[in-house]
A and B are shown apart, each in its own frame.
Chain A
Amino acid sequence: METRKTRLAALTAGVAITVLALTACSGSNSPSGSNSPSDSTNGAGQTLTVYIGADGKYGPQQQQWFKDVSAAFQTQTGATVNFQTFASGTEELTKIQTSVVANQGPDVYVMGTTFTPTAYSTGAFVSLTADDWSKVGGKDKFVPATLGISGPSDSDQVGIPFNSGPFAMAYNTDLLAKAGIDKPATTWDGLVAQAKKLTGNGVYGMAIAYKDNFDPWKFIWAMSRQAGNPIISGKVAKVDDPTTLKAYQTYFGWLTTDHVVDPASVGWNDGQALAAFASGKAAFFPMSTTSNIPTLSTSAVKDVYKFALMPVVPPGATTLPAGGAGATSIVAGNNIVVAKYSKNQDLAFALVKYLTDDANQQFMYKTFGVLPVNQTTLKAVVASTPALGPILDAAAGSVATPFSGAWADTQLALMNVVVQTIPDLAKGSVDNSKLQSLLTAAQKTAQSSLDKAP
């Protein structure tokens, strides 16, 4: 009996470990170096921990930047900055979850703009007072559009803009000229018509990354928003709205019915779509980030590409419909939030001020291809680089995604529709009823997530 019990116990333990792995799996959590409260920005001997995404494209430059920032901040306040990096949004989510539960962790987080609502809903980050804003240099310092997703209202904000990366569309001037097209269309239908003309001889009209983990939902959101559907409106999700269905049909249709994208793009991520455009194999490259700019400027097409706005008129329309917003982009980029549990909040604000001041904003633009959120810097950049004009217009015309704690779930549901459709896409035809049922499922996810919100 003993052995049997032991074995059963061992087996139970084995299964139990599964459960533990499932329920308690939450990564490691190292407490921040902050250990003594500070009542001023005199931070001698203190360490401020900053949690920031690792830059996949400019890694070594980012490491050097960490060192430079820490050295400069030490000169300024006596405190050092410890940068910790994460490789994926998932990793950051886990870190935030554990820090929120443990009430300790990094002092400052840099997070994607669309994640700000979820972070806000945890209540674990400092809602900025007028005093706090003045500590980071004043709200006026920032480009107004970048504040669009800092909080639910002007008076209740947790996110401080850090950098901006709006959508833009790169196009190959050479290919367009050969096809007798002088500039990209401003409607999605017009763009497809142009793309059809440009497709042929191994060149495709558009480069699209269907397999990217971040890109696809942004197109769906933009087209839906332009048609008047914000996806989340108050406590109601509208994922199964006809405008959204139309957006998906258009997005998939480029491959299945219009044949203006490379069939191989069902397996592409953003980098692979970029490579296709950069080697002259695609005429239009709608980009959901500006971080491709440094790569483009050294590529084979470096002398024959320009930027334009992505179309702002939804599919099936020739003018912006009533209720539609001419969304050129989401409010894209990164925000900074300061943890409530941080004992170094004043130091944190001092660091945020440094990071968003002109010098650092200039540096980040030149090094990482991210647009400044600082008004002064942006003006200087505009003056020195006229080609960026459309991107800046995109930033100015950007519309924020809904500020809802349910957004992360909704975004995942929007992405999931694309992921589950890829096999059909690869076969060359997307069944409408199947698409509709995926949308119904996504709607259910989004709505049930909204229903949970207090």
Chain B
Amino acid sequence: MPASSAESAGQSVPSGLAGKTPSGRGGPTANVRHRRGVTASNRPLWMLIPGGVLMILVIVVPILLGLYISVLTLDQYTLRQWLSAPFTGLGNYIEAVTDSPLLKSFWISLSFAVLSTAATVPLGIAAALATQNHFPGRAVVRSVFLIPFVMPSFVVATVWRTMFQPDGVIVSGLHSVGITSGLWLNGPNSYWTLVIVEIWAAWPFIYLLALAGLQSVDHDVHEASALDGASWWPKLRYVIFPYLKGPVALACVIATLNHINNFTLPFVLFGVPAPEDVQTLPFLTYITSFESFRFGLGAAMAFSSLILLAIPLIIYVRAVKLDVDEGADK
């Protein structure tokens, strides 16, 4: 592992820099020796300072603040002097886990995210494959594919909400072909409404990363498989898909996180109070904090969900070996 990480660290340092750092010692031999040195103890870690400071300001400080809030009884009565709100210890966490809809919301969020990802992957890959070979108007088709992705979530949700109204175009459309669909914005169906709209809005992301993966397939590989007489499916299955594995696995992680994080969609589609079936984690945390003024409990919910989500996430990342160095993997 040290060797491979050394290699990757070496790769990430621009060659100009690698040449510059050892200049005090001079000479090509020193340079070679230093190549090893850069990877071990003399790495220019100070260059991380700007990023580090930013990370502390943007991530660490708010997290600590959030942690602090989560152990306070912070509500409308104490908001004004919030730093001196009464300390409640783990009270908020206990309430979040044992006496709030947090666990139900966790399952809603997780299943919603996994379902949405599972549905968008085949769509995205199929779209990428379809637009891989050149044909007239390909650029236009590719651009059109990106429309759902570039539209603001707010707009997407507003338009879909209008379409899903009881007298809207979807219900009447289904009715005209003999299907009585019931309500889409209330009750159990609302969950599927959320999934459908999320799939519509999110598949181009998988498409983009799959397309990037396809671009990296060497022309030689296509030629070689053609020479071997591979028909389309074996070629796709054994030649092309291995190239897509990395980008698509990464896309799955990012997409799933995005689904879990998606607050705008349920908020705009359903409003407050929302049907129980679409009370996702961010939505629940929002309502608890900003509608019910229970900021401490809201923060505790956010941290509990962070822990709950980290577990399956780490398992997944390990399973698809995204956290293992690429050099070692290949």
Contact = CB atoms under 8 A, between A and B. Distances in A.
Interface of A: 1-4, 7-8, 11-26, 90, 93-94, 97, 100-101, 118, 121-124, 211, 213, 264, 266-267, 405, 408-409, 412, 415-416, 419-420, 422-424, 426-427, 445, 449, 452-454
B5 A1 contact: yes
A1 B1 contact: yes
Given A15-B306, A93-B291, A422 B76 contact: no
B147 interface: no
A349 B276 CA distance: 44
B329 to A, nearest CB: 10
B183 A422 contact: yes
Contact of A412 (B79, B183, B292): B292
A452 B282 contact: no
Nearest to B287: A412
A416 B285 CA distance: 16
B166 interface: yes
Contacts of A97: 79, 290, 293
Nearest to B11: A3
A23 B272 contact: no
Given A14-B257, A409-B292, A427-B182, 15 more contacts: A2-B325, A4-B325, A11-B313, A14-B254, A15-B306, A19-B63, A22-B301, A23-B65, A100-B79, A266-B183, A267-B185, A412-B291, A412-B292, A416-B273, A452-B75
Given A8-B323, A11-B313, A454-B77, A211 B286 contact: no
Given A4-B323, A15-B306, A90-B291, A405 B76 contact: yes
Given A20-B63, A409-B292, A423 B323 contact: no
A389 to B, nearest CB: 35
A123 B81 CA distance: 10
B95 to A, nearest CB: 9
Interface string B64-81: 011001100101110110
A124 B257 contact: no
Interface in B134-180: 165-167
Contact of B282 (A21, A416, A453, A454): A21
A391 B197 CA distance: 43
Contact of B302 (A8, A22, A100): A22
A452 B325 contact: no
A94 B271 CA distance: 15
A445 B292 CA distance: 10
Contacts, number: 172
Interface residues of B, number: 68
Contacts of B188: 423
Contacts of B260: 18
Q: Is the interface of A mostly helix, strand, loop or mixed?
A: helix
B263 interface: yes
Interface string B275-302: 1100001100110011111000011011
Contacts of A90: 272, 290-291
B186 interface: yes
30 contacts: A1-B5, A7-B317, A7-B323, A11-B253, A11-B313, A13-B59, A14-B257, A15-B310, A17-B261, A18-B302, A18-B306, A18-B309, A19-B303, A21-B261, A22-B282, A22-B285, A22-B286, A22-B298, A23-B69, A97-B290, A100-B79, A121-B76, A211-B186, A267-B166, A408-B292, A412-B291, A419-B274, A423-B275, A426-B186, A454-B77
B272 A213 contact: yes
Contact of A93 (B263, B290, B309): B290
A9 B325 CA distance: 14
Contacts of B290: 26, 90, 93-94, 97
A94 B298 CA distance: 14
A4 B79 contact: no
A427 B291 CA distance: 30
A15 B323 contact: no
Contacts of A118: 76, 293
Contacts of B79: 97, 100-101, 122, 124
